[in-house]
Amino acid sequence: MRAVLVGPPGAGKGTQAQILASELSIPKVSTGDIFRANVSGGTELGRTAKSYMDRGDLVPDEVTNEMVRGRLAEEDAREGFLLDGFPRNVPQAETLDSMLKDMGTALDAVLELKVDEEEVVKRLSGRRSCRECGRVYHLDYDPPEADGVCDACGGELYQRDDDREEVIRHRLEVYREQTEPLVAYYRDKGVLVAIGATGAVEDVTARAIAALRSDA
C-alpha cells in the first residue's frame, strides 16, 4: 500500500504512522523525523532545515522533494510506504504524483486525521520525545513511567523547539494556508478518506485501519 497521512500539527500523524506502518508491514517515511535526525547529526541538510523548522515554516520544496525522492527510491519503499508530513502543499503533491508516475505507480489512499485546534494545542504543549529512539509521549495522555526517561530505551525525553506556544500558532496558520488545500486536491482524485482523530490512540488506529482497508 502507498498511503499518505495528512492532518494538522499534533493530530497524531507520527503516533499513528508508527503503529500503522508496523501493522501494514510498510516503512514509515516521516519528513519531520528525517529533518530532525539531520539537525541532530549536524549535516548540511540539517543546517538548512533548522531555521525554517524553528520558526514553524516549511522547508523549501526543492530541498524537501529531493530528500523524499531519494528515500522513496530505497529498496524497502519499493512495494509500499506510509508518508507522514509529506506532501505539505499542492506543489509537493504534484511532485509526488509525478515521482510515482515515473515509477509506474500511484497513491492508494490519503488518510486525513481530523482534530480541532484546542486539542492540538494541548497535545503539542504536553508532548515529549525520546532523543534516542524517537518514541513520543504526552505528559497527561501518555506519560512515561519515570519522569524524563523513555520507557522503551532509557533515553532522555526532550521538548521539541517548535512546540512553544507562539510557534505552534504559526504552524497551525501554515497548515491552514498551505496544507489544508491538499484535502480538496486528494478528494478530487478520489483517494481521500477522513477519520476523527480524537479519543484513545488504539481507537484512532482501529478507525484508520478500517478506512485504509475500505479504500485499498
Question: Which of 1, 80, 155, 194 lies at the binding interface for Zn ion (CB under 5 A)?
Answer: 155
Q: How far is CA 27 from CA 58, 66, 118, 210, in A?
A: 23, 18, 31, 19
Minimum CB distance to ligand AP5, residue 109 (Å): 17
Binding site for ligand AP5 (CB under 6 A): 7, 9-15, 31-32, 35, 52-53, 56-59, 64, 85-86, 88, 92, 123-124, 126-127, 136-138, 141-142, 162, 171, 201, 204
C-alpha–C-alpha distance, residues 150 and 135, integer Å: 8
Minimum CB distance to ligand AP5, residue 30 (Å): 6
Ligand-binding site membership of 150 (annotated) = yes
Residue with cell 485546534: 117
C-alpha–C-alpha distance, residues 61 and 138, integer Å: 31
Q: 104 or 198: whose CB is closer to ligand AP5? A: 198
C-alpha–C-alpha distance, residues 44 and 38, integer Å: 8
Ligand-binding site membership of 95 (annotated) = no
Ligand-binding site membership of 155 (annotated) = no
- The DSSP call for residue 178 is I
The most distant pair of C-alpha atoms in the chain lies apart, rounded to whole Å, by 48
Residue with cell 520507557: 151
Q: Which does 127 bind (CB under 5 to 8 A by kind): Zn ion, ligand AP5, none?
A: ligand AP5
Among the listed residues 2, 88, 128, 207, the single catalytic one is 88
Active-site residue numbers?
13, 88, 127, 160, 171
